[in-house]
A = this chain, B = another copy of it.
Amino acid sequence: MQPVCLVIGAGAGIGSNVASRFAREGYHAVLCRRSDEEGLSRSVARIAEDGGAASGFLLNAVAPDAIEERIAAVEADIGPVEVAVYNLGAQIGDRSLAETSHKVFELGWRLGTFGLFRMASAVCPLMEQRGRGTLLVTSSTAAMRGNQGQHSHAAAMGGRRMLCQSLNAEFGPKGIHVAHIVIDGMVDAPDTLGRMLGDEAFQRLREERGLEHDGLLLPAEIADTYFQLARQHRSAWTHEIDLRAFSDTPWWNR
């Protein structure tokens, strides 16, 4: 049975690129995303065209049992989840406190923190039995510091970071590699940045900063670092790493 790389949050940016990268290295990539069945099929097809193995599933990470059942089905039907990638953002955007309803704040947590907890709760016992496994957690600037308009997002991501450290403390010595990956900048991704800015502004930004200027994080390049993390030898594992475009300003500078 092929080892599986499971990606929760497999949009057209980091998620599907990570899936492709692992598929190219012999993993069966399992892509899960909430909506856009067409986009999902396209990602799966592209991997197959490149000679890789992939499956795609729509998955609402907030729905009860959805994550748990998907993992159980993948393990039963496809293969052991050797690498689990949690790539869901908190997707709340920039809002003042007054504009952040209780519901929105809770949704941020459900996507940003609780979903990762659920994925880990489902997959870590299986990995522990096998004595190995990798959890790659996409994270963001907001995991490192709160900021204006980030009440929900930063609280969710701060929780995510501390959860990763707690998972690492329990499961590292059991052979499970937990990595918290701080994406500290804008990613050249139509599904997230593109949707946030709108088509026109997104294209303008790509021309000004991205494309040949390399001022936006390229998802394929991010994916390469994800893969390198997964193949680190257990005598020299990384728990936390940051990534940003060379011309960009790190979160601690202005």
A residues sitting closer than 8 Å to B (CB atoms) are: 96-98, 100, 102, 105-106, 109, 113-114, 117-118, 120-121, 124-125, 142-151, 154-173, 175, 177, 188, 214-218, 221-222, 224-225, 228, 232-247, 249-254
A162 contacts B158, CB within 8 Å? yes
Question: Could you tell me if B163 and A161 are in contact, using CB atoms closer than 8 angstroms?
Answer: no
Known: A166-B155, A217-B235. A252 touches B250 (CB 8 A): no
Question: When the two chains form their complex, are residues B143 and A166 in contact, meaning their CB atoms are under 8 A apart?
Answer: no
* Nearest CB in chain B to that of A211: its residue: B235
Q: By the criterion CB–CB under 8 Å, are B121 and A97 in contact?
A: yes
Asked whether, in the complex, the Cβ of A98 is within 8 Å of the Cβ of B125, the reply is: yes
Residues of chain B with a CB closer than 8 A to A217's CB: 235-236
Q: Could you say which of B155, B158, B170, B235 contacts A246, with CB atoms under 8 Å apart?
A: B235
Task: Check A147/B166 contact, CB under 8 A, given A218-B233, A221-B232, A236-B217.
Answer: yes
Of B159, B175, B216, the contact of A159 (CB 8 Å cutoff): B159
Given A97-B121, A240-B241, A246-B177, A163 contacting B155 (CB threshold 8 A): yes
User: A97 to B170, Cβ gap below 8 A?
Assistant: yes
A205 to B170, CA, bound (A): 23
Given the known inter-chain contacts A109-B159, A237-B246, please indicate yes or no for A252 contacting B251, CB distance below 8 A.
Answer: yes
CB pair B117–A155 under 8 Å, yes or no, is yes
Chain B residues contacting A154 (CB-CB under 8 Å) are 162-163, 165-166
Q: Are B159 and A155 in contact (CB under 8 A)?
A: yes
Those 10 A-B pairs whose CB atoms lie nearest each other, nearest first: A146-B165, A158-B162, A146-B166, A254-B254, A159-B159, A154-B162, A145-B252, A221-B236, A234-B246, A214-B235
Docked CA distance A177–B243 (Å): 12
Q: Which of B96, B113, B239, B247 contacts A244 (CB 8 A)?
A: B239
A124 to B98, CA, bound (A): 9
Nearest CB of B to A93, in Å: 13
A165 CA / B245 CA spacing, docked (Å) = 15
The residues of B that contact A160 with a CB separation of less than 8 Å are 155, 158
Report if A240-B242 is in contact (Cβ < 8 Å); known contacts: A100-B121, A170-B96. Answer: yes
